[in-house]
């Protein structure tokens, strides 16, 4: 099902929808969720440190959604951050949040509608590209990666924070995810995703992984109540607000079940220059990724 976001109707306390369900992407903007990359601020801080992002760095965020990552990077590093997302409602919410920032930060952040497969910027404009879970939503990932390569400066970095399955999900869970998101989620493990996200034309610079866990049901209930309270959604009638709350609870309950099966990678790619040659590395420390021979994490004694 899809949702037609009608600002006039929303202000009057009525949701205009097609079908019986609210679409996930519209729900995000409606409840104004702080749509974080996996690991939230902790991950963003590591990205900033790992890639040396600072005041002279120009960052492009792919799939910026409601803008959290771009704004956080600008706050802690002083960088210039540009976010693009295919969902106009999410971009509008990102710009609303941006307008509330102090000018010294807001002036260094911008958001616009844009497609990862047709990035609306010229060649070699960015030092760093950051991408949370957007690659899961991109259907033509090969084209997207070629676009990342095009707009990135030589030796620039791409930071991909992507979910993967550390244990196989059930068919029912995959069906429930499809019903929530509107597309099939590939049940890829870590190495499946690396085949897609780290093709030969990129240097696999660094890789770390973190396990995720499901939260207790009462926490999920409290989260749904908090985001759908009358204080946060005063423009909606009580019946519409309850409908939004129930749909939001349904969505995050599916995600919570899914988290019990997930981990996330912090993958760093670097754009090499044509003609670069580097011998493969033999002696790697335990726990580091071997991109050369075993295509696996190095085991300790």
> What distance in Å separates the CA atoms of residue 80 and residue 114, rounded to the nearest whole number?
18
- Name the DSSP letter for residue 115: B
Handedness of CA 154, 155, 161, 167 (dihedral sign): positive
Which token pair is 114? 């844009």
* Mean pLDDT on 181-198: 92
Q: Are 124 and 58 in contact (CB under 8 A)?
A: no
With a pLDDT cut of 70, the percent of the chain lying above it is 93
Strand ranges, E, within the chain: 2-3, 17-18, 58-62, 80-85, 109-113, 126-131, 152-165, 203-211, 262-270, 289-290, 296-297
Phi first, then psi, for residue 140 (nearest 5°) are -105, 80
Q: Which residues pair with 157 in a beta bridge?
A: 128, 270
Alpha carbon dihedral 233, 234, 240, 243, in 10-degree steps, equals: 30
* Mean pLDDT on 185-205: 93
- In terms of average pLDDT, the best of 20-29, 88-97, 156-165, 181-190 is 156-165
> What distance in Å separates the CA atoms of residue 120 and residue 112, rounded to the nearest whole number?
10
Q: Are 65 and 85 in contact (CB under 8 A)?
A: yes
Q: Residue 4: its pLDDT value, please? A: 30
Please determine, for residue 13, whether its predicted confidence score (pLDDT) is greater than 80. Answer: no
How many other CB atoms sit within 10 Å of the CB of residue 299? Answer: 9
* Mean pLDDT on 75-84: 98
Which token pair is 171? 């068919």
Which token pair is 216? 């207790």
- Name the DSSP letter for residue 125: -
> What distance in Å separates the CA atoms of residue 104 and residue 56, rounded to the nearest whole number?
14
Which token pair is 57? 């760095």
Q: Are 20 and 1 in contact (CB under 8 A)?
A: yes
With a pLDDT cut of 90, the percent of the chain lying above it is 74
By C-alpha distance, which of 140, 162, 160, 142 is closest to 150?
142
Q: What is the pLDDT of residues 129-188, one digit of tens each?
A: 999 988 888 889 999 999 999 999 999 999 999 999 999 999 999 999 999 988 888 999
Q: Residue 21: its pLDDT value, please? A: 66
């Amino acid at each position: 099902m899809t949702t037609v976001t009608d600002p006039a109707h929303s202000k009057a306390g009525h949701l205009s929808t097609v079908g019986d369900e609210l679409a996930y992407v519209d729900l995000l903007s409606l409840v104004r969720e702080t749509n974080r990359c996996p690991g939230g601020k902790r991950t963003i801080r590591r990205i900033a440190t790992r890639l040396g992002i600072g005041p002279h760095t120009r960052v492009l965020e792919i799939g910026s959604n409601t803008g959290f990552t771009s704004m956080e990077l600008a706050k802690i590093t002083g960088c210039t951050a540009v976010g693009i997302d295919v969902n106009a409602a999410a971009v509008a919410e990102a710009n609303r949040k941006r307008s509330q920032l102090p000018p010294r930060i807001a002036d260094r952040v911008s958001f616009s509608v844009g497609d990862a497969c047709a990035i609306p910027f010229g060649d070699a404009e960015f030092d760093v590209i950051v991408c949370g879970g957007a690659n899961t939503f991109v259907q033509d990932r090969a084209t997207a990666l070629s676009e990342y390569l095009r707009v990135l400066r030589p030796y620039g970095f791409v930071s991909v924070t992507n979910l993967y399955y550390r244990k196989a999900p059930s068919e029912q869970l995959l069906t429930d995810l499809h019903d929530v998101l509107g597309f099939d989620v590939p049940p890829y493990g870590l190495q499946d995703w690396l085949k897609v996200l780290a093709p030969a034309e990129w240097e696999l610079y660094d890789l770390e992984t973190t396990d995720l866990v499901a939260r207790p049901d009462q926490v999920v209930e409290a989260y749904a109540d908090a985001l759908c309270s009358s204080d946060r959604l005063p423009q909606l009638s009580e019946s519409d607000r309850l409908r939004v709350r129930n749909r939001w609870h349904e969505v995050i309950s599916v995600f919570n079940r899914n988290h019990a099966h997930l981990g996330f990678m912090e993958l760093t790619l670097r754009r090499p220059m044509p003609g670069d040659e580097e011998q493969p590395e033999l002696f790697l420390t335990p726990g580091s990724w071997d991109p050369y021979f075993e295509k696996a994490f190095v085991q300790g004694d």
